[in-house]
Amino acid sequence: MECEIIKKNDLLIVKVSGQLDMINVSRFREATDRILEEDGAPGMPILVDLSDVYIIDSTGIGALINMQNKCKKINCEMAIIHLPRSFEKLFKLTLIDRFFNMYANEDEARESLFGPANGH
């Protein structure tokens, strides 16, 4: 499991790849905790890109929920982008899709977060 942090002017993207499961979740938590402590300025949205994740289990979902809760505490918005189709059913059946803001891609997330006139 890898976490690449991409800093943009007005947001952070956490690009996760590989397996987000019980074996690897501690690396995800360490990376995201570091982001929230060092880079997560209040009000700066964080997009979690799951396009390259091919396995996610309940521990991985729990880590995403934990990250969402930490974001709320520091007043930063978190959203998921590029959720693989193979996980859509899981997120809907477990009602996780109601807990997160989820967008098809970065452009859709930007439009929702900043409005269509943002010009990015």
Q: pLDDT tens digit string along 64-95?
A: 999 999 999 888 899 999 999 999 988 998 89
**Is a pLDDT exceeding 90 seen at residue 111?**
yes
> What CATH class has 2-118?
alpha beta
* Rounded Cα gap, residues 9 and 4, in angstroms: 16
Within its chain, how far is the Cα of 82 from the centroid? 10
**Is a pLDDT exceeding 70 seen at residue 120?**
no
State residue 35's pLDDT score.
Answer: 84
Q: Please tell me whether the overall predicted TM-score, pTM, comes out greater than 0.75 for this model.
A: yes
Domain assignments of the chain as residue spans, ordered by start: 2-118
Residue with tokens 């807990």: 99
* Rounded Cα gap, residues 7 and 24, in angstroms: 23
Rounded to an integer, the average pLDDT of 8-18 is 92
